[in-house]
Amino acid sequence: MNKKEKKTILVADDVKLFQLFIKQTLTSKDYELIFVERGKQAIDTVMRKDVDLLILDVELPDVNGLEVLRKIRKLTKDMESVVQLKELPVVMVTAYPREEIRKEAEMLGVVSFLGKPLKRKEFRKIVEDVLEGRYQEFKRRKLILCVDSEPRVQKFYEGTLSSGNWNVITASNGIEALEAVEFKSPDLIITELNLPQMDGVEFLQTLKESGQNIPVIVISSVSEKEGKQKIQNLGVKKYLSKPFQLDELRKSVREILKGSEEATT
């Protein structure tokens, strides 16, 4: 592989020991490693160099890693009318792998979220898969955004729908859901109506006003009669009341995603 074909890996982390770990783990001559210690440096580097992979720590001295990623995604999106930039794959790392951070990172489109200390063999394989394009196969699976304030319900959706060969991301309220829609462009949304901060009805209204045409399944503790009155003309394809039949949910998901696929072909 000549110099032009080298894969450029940008590492944003201010911990010298972690930088050493990266140097010792990614020893291939096919990689060009660039190290920065601040979030602003990471953003500047991404904007001026052709980076193939960003390894990004959550805890940086100047800007939180999530905010760095949010800015990069926004800058890329803002450039769409001028130039079609490739989507930058990101592996996010942290010494404090809290669930809420993982969820937000997934909404922003990370290919992997890893807690420190990293396992060398596992980490090297993730990097190889990303740089050789194998993660694209995972990305081609349909993406479902599930919105519910209860963590146990989110876990249920993740387990149940992921086994159906779909990718699943979750949000706890309408505000988080809108952010996920902006950065992840899901193929289907499943939402509760009773949500904190921004409820499901307001979320669906905002979604419609933004011009998004994403099919929606409402699964709610609100009765079907009352719920359907609230969501008239908001693009809801299916309404299920809790407790619902799992088979009915899976069937609805399959039918709606198939219908959306046929409509675009």
Which of 112, 138, 164 is a domain's end point?
138
Q: Tell whether 132 and 27 lie within a shared domain.
A: yes
DSSP string, 73-109: HHHHHHTTTT--PPPPPEEEEESS--HHHHHHHHHTT
Tell me the pairing of strands 236-241 and 216-220: parallel
Angle between helical axes of 174-184 and 99-107 (0-180°, round to 10): 40
Which of 138, 167, 183 is a domain's end point?
138
pLDDT of the residue at 258: 86
Q: Tell whether 224 and 241 lie within a shared domain.
A: yes
C-beta separation of 217 from 252 below 8 A: yes
pLDDT tens series, the chain, 265 aa: 444 579 999 999 999 999 999 999 999 889 999 999 999 999 999 999 999 999 999 999 999 999 999 999 888 877 765 655 677 999 999 999 888 898 888 888 898 999 999 999 999 999 999 998 876 655 667 899 999 999 999 999 988 888 777 889 999 999 999 989 988 889 999 999 999 999 999 999 999 998 888 999 999 888 878 888 888 888 899 999 888 888 999 999 999 998 876 665 5
Q: Tell whether 180 and 127 lie within a shared domain.
A: no
Q: Tell whether 113 and 149 lie within a shared domain.
A: no
Q: What are phi and psi of 135, to 5 degrees?
A: -70, -20
Q: Tell whether 216 and 167 lie within a shared domain.
A: yes
Q: Tell whether 134 and 221 lie within a shared domain.
A: no
C-beta separation of 38 from 60 below 8 A: yes
pLDDT of the residue at 207: 93
What is the number of structural domains in the chain?
2
Q: Residue 50 has which token pair? A: 């052709």
The helix/strand/coil state of 70 is helix
DSSP 166: -
Q: Tell whether 19 and 129 lie within a shared domain.
A: yes
Q: Tell whether 176 and 50 lie within a shared domain.
A: no
CATH number for the domain harbouring residue 26? 3.40.50.2300
CA-based max dimension of the chain: 65
Domain that holds residue 133: 3-138
Which of 114, 138, 162 is a domain's end point?
138
Q: Tell whether 118 and 132 lie within a shared domain.
A: yes
Q: Residue 236 has which token pair? A: 């809801």
Q: Tell whether 8 and 61 lie within a shared domain.
A: yes
134 CB-near residues (< 8 Å, 6+ apart): none
176 CB-near residues (< 8 Å, 6+ apart): 103, 104, 107, 147
pLDDT of the residue at 229: 84
Q: Is the pTM of this model over 0.85?
A: no
pLDDT of the residue at 176: 92
Q: Tell whether 155 and 38 lie within a shared domain.
A: no
DSSP string, 184-207: H--SEEEE-S--SSS-HHHHHHHH
Q: Tell whether 133 and 9 lie within a shared domain.
A: yes
pLDDT of the residue at 2: 47
DSSP 5: G
